[in-house]
A = this chain, B = another copy of it.
Amino acid sequence: MTIPEQRLRAFTHSIFKSIGCPDADAALATDVLVTADLRGVDSHGVARLSGYVRLWETGRLNAAPQPRVVHETPTTATVDGDGGLGLVVAPYAMDIAIEKAKQYGSGWVAIRHSNHFGIAGYHALKAVAQDMIGYALTNASPLVAPTFSAERLLGTNPICYAFPAGKYPPVVVDMATSAAANGKLEVAARAGKTIPEGWALTTHGHPTTDAAAVKNGGALLPLGSDRSHGSHKGFGLSATVDILSGVLSGANYGPWVPPFVAYLQPLADQPGEGIGHFVGAMRVDGFRPVADFKANMDQWIARFKDAKRVDERQPVIIPGEPEYEATHVYREKGIPLVEAVWDDLQQLAAKLGVAPLMAEGMAQNR
């Protein structure tokens, strides 16, 4: 199924409105999700919509939050997200970081008492639009085992840095700190395939190629996979994300980060509130003239694109470039949805009394 962008936006907006989101919040949350789909990051797009709704149904999501600054210096702040959608709270925080950067050169905001914020790249790119370098992190429910542990203690805790360029699209490094995303295991499991060693452990902490390992209580591995290939580095990065997002903000961290899926209960005795994010912005012209930086970025990008290839058919991929190209294609041709997501969205619409989604070519007024 392929859905025109505007139609997917209108539908998503209606869903968020139907659970009580104010109009502006619904528009913002929609923009974050549909931007993920436009960028081809379909694991973080409207496929998650029913998950957010289920969290709201269990009372763990405030559809009309009043996020507020609870601690502040000229260039730092902590935001309490009032239990709202991270899709709404993180842009609120990033706007504060950008305002601080306009005034003082940089701005950094830790966020607590929030929920899943969608793709990190959305938030970091808000800074790029102002000729700033953008930074966005979030912790997430525990799925990843630290090096030498058989226990899930960290989320896939993504890191995003986004840099403006000149004639090229922005460079956007937006990456989970695990070796593989859980979604890749789910795809392999549905296809009845095994997974490479180095992605996951069994519940006993042994290497496995079983795609159902994590679903059955095992753990994802940090980037680096095993000690000899640097998994302690992936663990260190994930720990950094957890500390900046969770410990610094007063959110939960480690095994206490509340699960995204509504059927799992948060642990008792939580040390903080909700999940945590961390966002930041630095003005490029806080360091050098923007035109000079962009000219050098263009040279950097051109040189890496021109790198000697291992396989002549496969050039080096500049981080963020495939997502930028996907956006152009999907804007024009519509956004593809897999059947499971399509069905899920239609059931969601029926449940909430929202008009069903129409695919490309379907009559809009049936």
- Residues of chain A whose beta carbon lies under 8 Å from any beta carbon of chain B: 71-78, 104-106, 108, 110, 133, 145-151, 153, 159, 161, 163, 171, 173, 175-180, 196, 198-199, 201, 204-206, 223-225, 228-230, 232-237, 239-240, 242-244, 247-250, 253-255, 271-272, 282-284, 286-288, 292-293, 296-297, 299-300, 303-304, 307-311, 314-317, 319
Using known A-B contacts A229-B180, A299-B271, A300-B254, determine if residue A106 contacts B153 with beta carbons closer than 8 Å: no
| In the complex, chain B residues whose CB is within 8 Å of the CB of A287 | 71, 76-78, 110, 248-249
Which B residue's beta carbon lies closest to that of A255? B303
Say whether B76 contacts A74, CB under 8 Å.
no
**So how many copies of this chain end up in the complex?**
2
Which B residue's beta carbon lies closest to that of A307? B149
Say whether B307 contacts A179, CB under 8 Å.
no
- A71's contact among B73, B196, B229, B288, by CB below 8 Å, is which? B288
- A309's contact among B149, B180, B293, by CB below 8 Å, is which? B149
Which B residue's beta carbon lies closest to that of A197? B229
Say whether A149 contacts B76, CB under 8 Å.
no
Using known A-B contacts A73-B105, A74-B105, A248-B287, determine if residue A151 contacts B297 with beta carbons closer than 8 Å: no
- Which 4 pairs of residues, A with B, have the shortest CB-CB distance? A73-B105, A76-B286, A205-B310, A173-B236
Say whether B248 contacts A303, CB under 8 Å.
no
Say whether A179 contacts B247, CB under 8 Å.
no
Which B residue's beta carbon lies closest to that of A199? B229
Say whether B175 contacts A236, CB under 8 Å.
yes
| In the complex, chain B residues whose CB is within 8 Å of the CB of A199 | 229
A286–B248 Cα gap in the complex (Å)? 10
| In the complex, chain B residues whose CB is within 8 Å of the CB of A310 | 148-150, 201, 204-206
> Most B CB atoms within 10 A — which of A229, A235, A303?
A229
- A286's contact among B75, B230, B253, B304, by CB below 8 Å, is which? B75
| In the complex, chain B residues whose CB is within 8 Å of the CB of A148 | 307, 309-311, 314-317
6 A-B residue pairs with Cβ-Cβ distance under 8 Å, sorted by A, are A75-B286, A76-B286, A205-B310, A224-B229, A225-B229, A247-B297
| In the complex, chain B residues whose CB is within 8 Å of the CB of A229 | 179-180, 196, 198-199, 223-225, 229
